[in-house]
Chain A
């Protein structure tokens, strides 16, 4: 399985952009990068995914480096409700397409 490495925690200021890094240096060509988040006491929530191009949706932007060994999830204007654990997941044929969650990054948005 392609593993991911994320910082255990980070703080960001309300209203500012939050940039969440993820390393996945062993990713293979047909594996996608997925981001989920889990707000306290709730089920995980899908945010975004990508293969090699940058992606944007109403929740966030995903920037994947050209060598695909790392990516950054950007929350453009963090709010207090964005406080959650954010999971970066590599998914593809190598792991039978399972969505396997690691420890994630605990993001705390402060007023």
Chain B
């Protein structure tokens, strides 16, 4: 069983479109994250939710909206996609809020905006 699963794994779309990436974890963790890895390979945290409550919201355009329907799911919706949004997006989870640094990452969702 995959611990942290993301769908889709690959996404190719046109500028201006709206798309969503879904994430589910079956580890029973209470905290979930979205990270973005750009073409230069730097991993940057975008958001974190703890028990469905937003606890980290980095300087991210408001075109990005995370949604956590329950603590096992954290979806990322992106409006009006731009070329610069092309990246690999990683979902992760952990137990114990921000007090643990042991994160479990998914395999990533590669978004290409044309």
Contact = CB atoms under 8 A, between A and B. Distances in A.
B45 to A, nearest CB: 6
A103 B56 CA distance: 22
B98 interface: yes
Contacts, number: 49
Contacts of A98: 45, 56, 98
B27 interface: no
B105 interface: yes
Given A98-B45, A99-B45, A34 B101 contact: yes
Interface residues of B, number: 20
Nearest to A47: B102
B114 interface: no
A32 B43 contact: no
A102 B37 CA distance: 11
